[in-house]
Amino acid sequence: MSSTTTASRVALVTGGSGGIGRAVVERLAADGYAVAVHYAGNPARATEVADQITAAGGRAITVGADVADETAMGAAFDAVEAAFGGIDVVVNTAGIMLLSPIATLDLADFDHMHRTNVRGTFVVSQLAANRLRTGGAIVNFSTSVTRTQFPAYGAYVASKAAVEGITLILARELRGKDITVNAVAPGPTATALFLNDKDEATIANLSKAVPLERLGQPADIAETVAFLAGPARWVNGQVLFTNGGLA
């Protein structure tokens, strides 16, 4: 799908002000999409991203909401539709990761993480299922750790396994609507979320675990999202492991 055809398409990216979300926003804007940069708690950072896009000749707005709050997210969808006339693509990068062995995990952390990662994905997916235009795409986010089973990731992986289930079933439920639903499962990616609380030795070991012997970059993940958002009309109900070959 060329930029001439994506120029009329509109994307809402949750968690779009930082990390992978920001890379996705920048890539879709470069591909010609009008983009809505969603944020939960940092409007200044979202505005910075949107201003950068508009300064380069693109179209961008910001929308703020708790992804797990269906009323607030419904208002965010309203704002995007009012600004751009409709929505074609929803990319749900918003998520949190709190690591701990299962035996010692604070259950308040479990609840907090699952509210954002599971309920938030469900709310956004539900709204997208009802409001995307024909030819649309929903892209949710899982993790490659659903396969690698690293210790301390138990509660996080549980939330992302739920995201995969939501994604794969929704793809089948939208039969006949010409809306694709897929999930991206990144491997080790150099974002603040991933690098936080990891020492250099741990980061080096994770880099070496990948056959390409490097961490992924947010742009690597955004490339996969751009594929699913636009040209990949025959890819549906899938989880794409974008991880450099991590086993």
Question: pLDDT at position 2, please?
Answer: 39
In a domain, 201, yes or no: no
Q: How many residues does the chain have?
A: 247
Q: In angstroms, rounded to a whole number, what is the distance separating the alpha carbons of residues 222 and 189?
A: 11
Distance CA 193, CA 26 (A): 19
In a domain, 231, yes or no: yes
Please say whether the dihedral angle defined by the alpha carbons of residues 139, 143, 144 and 148, taken in this order, is positive or negative: negative
Domain count within the chain = 1
* CA separation for the pair 183, 238 (Å, rounded): 6
208 in a domain, yes or no? Answer: no
According to DSSP, the residues that pair with 61 across neighbouring strands are: 36
Closest alpha carbon to 239 in 156, 101, 174, 145: 145
Rounded Cα distance, 240 and 18, in Å = 21
What confidence score (pLDDT) does residue 194 get?
A: 73
Q: What are the residues facing 89 on neighbouring strands?
A: 11, 137
Query: Considering the domain boundaries, does residue 77 fall inside one?
Result: yes
Q: Which residues pair with 27 in a beta bridge?
A: none
Q: Is 178:135 a contact under the CB 8 Å cutoff?
A: yes
pLDDT at 5: 60
Residue 50 within a domain: yes
Tokens of 228: 């699913």
247 part of a folded domain: no
Which 3-state string (H, E, C) describes the chain? CCHHHHCCCEEEEECCCCHHHHHHHHHHHHCCCEEEEEECCCHHHHHHHHHHHHHCCCCEEEEECCCCCHHHHHHHHHHHHHHHCCCCEEEECCCCCCCCCHHHCCHHHHHHHHHHHHHHHHHHHHHHHHHCCCCCEEEEECCCHHHHCCCCCHHHHHHHHHHHHHHHHHHHHCCCCCCEEEEEEECCECCHHHHCCCCHHHHHHHHHCCCCCCCECHHHHHHHHHHHHCCCCCCCCCEEEECCCCC
Per-residue pLDDT tens, the chain, 247 aa: give them.
434 366 689 999 999 998 999 999 999 999 999 999 999 999 999 999 999 999 999 999 999 999 999 999 999 999 999 999 999 999 999 999 999 999 999 999 999 999 999 999 999 999 999 999 999 999 999 999 999 999 999 999 999 999 999 999 999 999 999 999 999 999 988 887 677 777 888 888 878 888 998 999 999 999 999 999 999 999 999 999 999 998 7
Alpha-carbon Rg for the chain, nearest whole angstrom, is 17
Q: Is 153 a catalytic residue?
A: no
Q: Please indicate, yes or no, if residue 210 is contained in any of the structural domains.
A: no
- Predicted local distance difference test score (pLDDT) of residue 58: 98
Range of the domain at 66: 3-188+221-241
Note whether residue 207 is domain-resident. no
Query: Can you give the CATH number for the domain in which 32 is found?
Result: 3.40.50.720
| Whole-Å CA distances, 141 to 51, 70, 81, 120, 233 | 26, 19, 23, 11, 18
Catalytic residue among 33, 39, 153, 156: 156
